[in-house]
Chain A
């Protein structure tokens, strides 16, 4: 079972920042927080991951709380193409990615 909790859906206006929350209160010390997204009918796409420090790449920023029990994925300037299901996943030493239900982000014009 997935160890993360995300709201089922969220709307965002085009051009605004999208802040996607994720709770993972039972996270273990060796588990990373990974974010993937799945645009309709496509394979999941890696976005970003982190262990305890905040991370930023060309797609997004990841903010992890100090106690590591929650995190926020930030898309700084959402576009229509960012409409997708976003998955927050914990990954430790196991090979497996355990996907939950994810959160549907809809970016509106």
Chain B
């Protein structure tokens, strides 16, 4: 079983559309994250959720909204997609807080045309 899974793996869409990326974990971890890796390969945290509660919200446009329906899922909704949103988005989980190891999903490559 895949510990952290993301769907879809690839997403190609037009500017202005609204799309969602889903993340599911079967590790029973309390904390989940979304990271963005841009074309220059820099990997940056976007959001962190702990037990369905938003903990970290970096300076991300409010077109991006994470939603956690339950502890095992953290979805990323993106409204009014822009060209600059093209990137690979990674979901990650952590058992507790602090310095516990993070486990990453396989990534979703979003291409906005």
Considering only residues 65-113 of chain B, those with a C-beta below 8 Å from chain A are 90, 92, 94, 97-99, 101-107
- Note all chain B residues with C-beta closer than 8 A to A45: 104
Nearest CB to that of B44 among chain A residues? A99
Q: Smallest CB–CB gap between B68 and chain A, Å?
A: 15
Q: Does A101 contact B (CB under 8 A)?
A: yes
Q: Does B25 contact A (CB under 8 A)?
A: no
Interface range for A: 20 to 34
Of B41, B90, B98, which one neighbours A93 at CB under 8 angstroms? B98
- Note all chain A residues with C-beta closer than 8 A to B101: 34, 46, 49
What is the CA–CA distance of A29 and B104 in the complex, to the nearest angstrom?
Answer: 27
Q: Contact: A44 with B42, CB < 8 Å?
A: no
Q: Contact: A99 with B43, CB < 8 Å?
A: yes
Q: Does A91 contact B (CB under 8 A)?
A: yes
Considering only residues 58-106 of chain A, those with a C-beta below 8 Å from chain B are 85, 87, 91-93, 95-99, 101-102
Q: Does B11 contact A (CB under 8 A)?
A: no
What is the CA–CA distance of A34 and B103 in the complex, to the nearest angstrom?
Answer: 13
Also in contact, A95 and B90, with CB within 8 A (given A42-B106, A43-B105, A101-B42)? no
- Note all chain A residues with C-beta closer than 8 A to B107: 41-43
What is the CA–CA distance of A67 and B101 in the complex, to the nearest angstrom?
Answer: 24
Also in contact, A92 and B99, with CB within 8 A (given A41-B107, A43-B90)? yes
Q: Does B45 contact A (CB under 8 A)?
A: yes
Chain B residues near A (Cβ < 8 Å): 4, 31, 41-45, 48, 55-56, 90, 92, 94, 97-99, 101-107
Q: A44-B102, A95-B31, A96-B48 are in contact. List 19 more A-B contacts (CB 8 A).
A: A34-B101, A41-B107, A43-B105, A43-B107, A44-B92, A46-B102, A46-B103, A49-B101, A85-B41, A91-B99, A93-B98, A93-B99, A95-B55, A95-B94, A95-B97, A96-B56, A99-B44, A101-B41, A101-B42
A-B contacts, 9 of them at CB < 8 A, read A34-B101, A43-B4, A43-B105, A44-B104, A45-B104, A46-B101, A49-B101, A93-B99, A96-B56
